[in-house]
Each structure stands twice: as C-alpha cells, then as structure tokens.
Amino acid sequence: MESINHILQEAAHLPEDQRLTLAYKILLVGEPRFSKSVEDAWDAEIRERIASYDRGEISSRPASDVFANIDCQLK
C-alpha cells in the first residue's frame, strides 16, 4: 500500500492532462485486450463519426439528456 500512496502523491503533482493520461493507462491495464482488427475497426468508426459531425451530417445531444433518457428506460 505504501507504493500506491507514493504513486498517488507523485501523480498529484502532475499537470491535469498527464494525470488523466495516467488514469486512462491504469484503467487499460484491467481491460480485456481486443484483437488489432477490432481496435482498428473501432478507431475507423470513431473517426468516421467525428468526421460526420464535423461535416454537419449528424448532431449531438448533451450527455445529461442521454443519461436522463437511459434512467427513464431503466425504471
């Protein structure tokens, strides 16, 4: 536990973007690994969705609306 506390103290001194990158990488350690083809397919899908949004072909909704809708469906 001493190691974890030391890492947390060190991380607290990092700039916010580096703390978020560190947190992301730590979370990835516990995630199952997908094949390269699956990761590539998701990367392509994400890029296409962003490009569609940038071209004005699709719109967005506030996350609060999305989560409120999900909450209603789960009740």
- Please report the pLDDT score of residue 30 as a whole number: 86
Tokens encoding 62? 């506030």
pTM over the 0.85 mark: no
Per-residue pLDDT reduced to its tens digit, 9-68? 999 999 999 999 999 999 989 888 888 999 999 999 999 999 999 999 999 999 999 999
- Please report the pLDDT score of residue 12 as a whole number: 95
The ranges assigned to domains in the chain are: 1-31, 34-75
CA distances from 22 to 14, 16, 19 (A): 10, 10, 5
